[in-house]
């Protein structure tokens, strides 16, 4: 359904059209006045004034028409604003170039145009950068609508790519963790692809690797823990793992990509208080938190049903684990790490 303009927006557009009509009428009157004056009192200055205002009138009318079309046809506010800004600046630049051509001697015309060109570069550098960035996004497929990207420290799903800006449905920001949407819509200038690193999570494949870390006590059966964890993760991620293998093979046809292990795996790290089990697996790029939550719940239920595996905890859960060393000056207390078992 086409979005209707609000009454204030309609009034603002009508007022803008009225202002442009008044300005154009004044320019036509001035142009006619200088033409009549030149006919009655022929003079080179009056002739140049007539040529100047005639050129200004024609250029202003053309840009006013372009502005009217842009206002009526382009619905995206950010794109409409950027285009109108570009038209306004170009209007002034073109008028300045024509006026310079009329009044300045040909020997100095290139110097004047050089100054005007420098002014254009300064005034429109951000706009040109965004325009060029938009072209590169389309030509090189940096990202497309529907991709999940991270750029300028903003992460989200691309919902629109305009001439000058990209619109992203933001995720994972402002206290919203775990790759979950924040509900905010973020507009990013396309020029950011020229100066910032762009991370595309879903350009050529839909999976990413994720990990879950679990601390297990030293008195647990660590080999049984590995078998239990692998069985759970393999059962829950089998479908995405098979798909990941196929996508990696396709990637190998386009890029140099060494063989990657996509099967679930468990890596152990010895610490002073426990053994850290790092469970590595692949998951859908848009289902990271849901998959992690599902696996965590199933792992906890599996540990709950066995007496061979105990999860270590760095804090005391209501159990006094402190022993006091006495008998010599300066002796302090040594605190042992607590452990807890899910019952």
Q: Which CATH number characterizes residue 231's domain?
A: 3.30.70.100
Judge whether residue 338 has pLDDT over 90.
no
Q: How confident is the model at residue 278 (pLDDT cuts 50, 70, 90)?
A: very high
Query: Do both 188 and 238 map to the same domain?
Result: no
3-state secondary structure the chain: CCCCCCHHHHHHHHHHHHHHHHHHHHHHHHHHHHHHHHHHCCCHHHHHHHHHHHHHHHHHHHHHHHHHHHHHHCCCHHHHHHHHHHHHHHHHHHHHHHHHHHHCCHHHHHHHHHHHHHHHHHHCHHHHHHHHHHHHHHHHCCCCCCCEEEECCEEEEEEEECCCEEEEEEECCCCCCCCCEEEEEEEEECCHHHHCCCEECCCCCCEEEEEEEEEECCCCCHHHHHHHHHHHHHHHHHHHHHHHHHHHHHHHHHCCCCCCCCCCEEEEEECCCCEEEEEEEEEECCCHHHHHHHHHHHHHHHHHCCCCCCEEECCCCCCCCEEECCCCCCCCEEECCEEECCC
Instruction: Indicate the number of domains in the chain.
Output: 3
Judge whether residue 11 has pLDDT over 60.
yes
**Lowest-confidence region among 206-210, 222-226, 230-234, 298-302:** 206-210
Which residues span the domain enclosing 158? 142-200
pLDDT tens digits, 81-98: 667 767 777 787 788 878
Query: Do both 51 and 119 map to the same domain?
Result: yes
For the ranges 60-69, 236-245, 327-336, the one whose mean pLDDT is highest: 236-245
Judge whether residue 165 has pLDDT over 50.
yes
**Would residue 339 count as lying in a domain?**
no
Per the CB < 8 A criterion, the answer to whether 277 and 234 are in contact is no
Average confidence score pLDDT of the chain: 79
The answer to pTM > 0.85 is no
Query: Do both 277 and 178 map to the same domain?
Result: no
CATH number at residue 196: 2.30.30.60
**Would residue 98 count as lying in a domain?**
yes
Query: Do both 50 and 98 map to the same domain?
Result: yes
**Lowest-confidence region among 43-47, 70-74, 214-218, 245-249:** 70-74
Average pLDDT over residues 142-146: 89
Per the CB < 8 A criterion, the answer to whether 169 and 159 are in contact is yes
pLDDT tens digits, 172-207: 765 656 667 788 888 898 989 998 899 998 888 888
Query: Do both 32 and 107 map to the same domain?
Result: yes
- Residue among 39, 61, 62 at smallest CA distance from 49: 39
**Lowest-confidence region among 17-21, 53-57, 227-231, 253-257:** 253-257
Average pLDDT over residues 53-75: 82
Query: Do both 28 and 118 map to the same domain?
Result: yes
**Would residue 226 count as lying in a domain?**
yes
Average pLDDT over residues 249-261: 75
pLDDT tens digits, 279-329: 999 998 888 888 999 999 999 999 999 889 999 987 544 444 443 334 333
% residues pLDDT > 90 (the chain): 22
- Domain boundary among the residues 70, 92, 123 is at 123
**Would residue 332 count as lying in a domain?**
no
Query: Do both 92 and 115 map to the same domain?
Result: yes
**Would residue 324 count as lying in a domain?**
no
């Amino acid at each position: 359904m086409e979005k209707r303009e609000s009454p204030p927006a309609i009034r603002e557009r009508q007022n803008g059209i009225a202002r442009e009509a008044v300005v154009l009428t004044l320019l036509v009157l001035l142009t006619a006045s200088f033409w009549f004056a030149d006919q009655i009192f022929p003079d080179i200055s009056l002739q140049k004034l007539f040529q100047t205002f005639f050129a200004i009138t024609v250029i202003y009318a053309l840009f006013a028409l372009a502005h009217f079309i842009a206002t009526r046809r382009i619905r995206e506010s950010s794109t409409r604003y950027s285009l109108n800004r570009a038209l306004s600046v170009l209007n002034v630049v073109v008028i300045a170039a024509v006026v310079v051509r009329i009044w300045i001697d040909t020997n100095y015309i290139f110097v004047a145009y050089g100054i005007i060109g420098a002014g254009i570069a300064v005034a429109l550098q951000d706009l040109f950068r965004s325009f060029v960035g938009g072209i590169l996004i389309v030509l090189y497929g940096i990202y497309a609508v529907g991709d999940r990207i991270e750029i300028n420290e903003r992460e989200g799903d691309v919902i629109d790519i305009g001439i000058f800006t990209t619109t992203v449905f933001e995720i994972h920001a402002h206290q919203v963790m775990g790759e979950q949407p924040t509900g905010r819509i973020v507009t990013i200038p396309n020029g950011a692809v020229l100066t910032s690193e762009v991370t595309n999570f879903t350009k050529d494949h839909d999976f990413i690797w994720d990990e879950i870390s679990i601390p297990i006590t030293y008195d647990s059966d660590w080999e049984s823990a590995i078998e239990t964890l692998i069985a759970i993760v393999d059962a829950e991620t089998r479908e995405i793992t098979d798909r990941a293998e196929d996508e990696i093979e396709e990637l190998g046809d386009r890029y140099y990509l060494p063989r990657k292990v996509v099967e679930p795996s468990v890596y152990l790290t010895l610490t002073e208080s426990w053994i850290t089990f790092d469970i590595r697996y692949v998951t859908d790029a848009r289902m990271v938190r849901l998959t992690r939550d599902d696996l965590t719940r199933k792992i906890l239920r599996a540990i709950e049903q066995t007496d061979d595996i105990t999860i270590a905890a760095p804090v005391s859960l209501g159990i006094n684990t402190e022993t006091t060393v006495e008998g010599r000056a300066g002796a302090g207390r040594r605190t042992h790490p607590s452990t807890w078992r899910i019952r």
